[in-house]
Amino acid sequence: MKPVNTESRPRKTVLTYGTFDLFHVGHARLLKRLRQLGDRLVVGVSSDEFNASKGKKSFCSFEERAEILLATEFVDEVFAEDSWEQKRKDIKRFNADIFGMGSDWSGKFDDLNDCCEVIYLDRTQDVSTTDIKKALAKISAEDVIQLESSLHAALDIVVNLASSVGNTK
């Protein structure tokens, strides 16, 4: 559950950006730590068009990625990131106090320190969407057929067991 700010101090807004494709524990941990820095977390999610301009294609659509983020307890608002240049305007638009990114971006956004505090948080070790996509790409059609065959065989066993249990009653 999102904490309620009961203090009289002004709310602190944290802003971050990302593609957030194939949502995983690294994403969840980063969002949780970002949220702990303030009272509100606003996330710019790379639009499908922006990803295409970077030569990337997401498995999930922008709408799906936005829905997943909003379903977490950490994210309060999501909007489309359509260009690299929009960050300064977004900081002003959302009145962001903190701009936070993963440490893989260290130093890349230091020029924004004149409008808010810029923070880089450590990434979760050994977890990345790129690595997940590479691992999935190694799965061959033959592997899928073999897995499907194994699943059918396992299902046959379960069905046979269920029917034999039903026959003994």
Q: Which of 37, 42, 39, 35 is nearest to 16 (CA)?
A: 42
Question: Which tens digit of pLDDT belongs to each residue from 111-154?
Answer: 999 999 999 998 876 666 666 656 666 777 787 678 778 888 88
**165: region left, alpha or beta (phi > 0 left; psi from -120 to 50 alpha):** alpha
pTM of the predicted protein model: 0.72
Task: Spell out the domain ranges in the chain.
Answer: 13-132, 140-167
Interval 21-72: pLDDT, tens: 888 888 899 999 999 999 999 999 999 999 999 998 888 899 999 999 999 9
**SS3 of residue 160 by DSSP:** helix
Residue numbers annotated as active site: 54, 56
Q: Dig out the tokens for 12 from the structure.
A: 């602190």
Q: Where are the alpha helices (DSSP H) in the chain?
A: 25-36, 48-53, 62-71, 87-93, 129-137, 141-167
CATH architecture of the region 13-132? 3-Layer(aba) Sandwich (3.40)
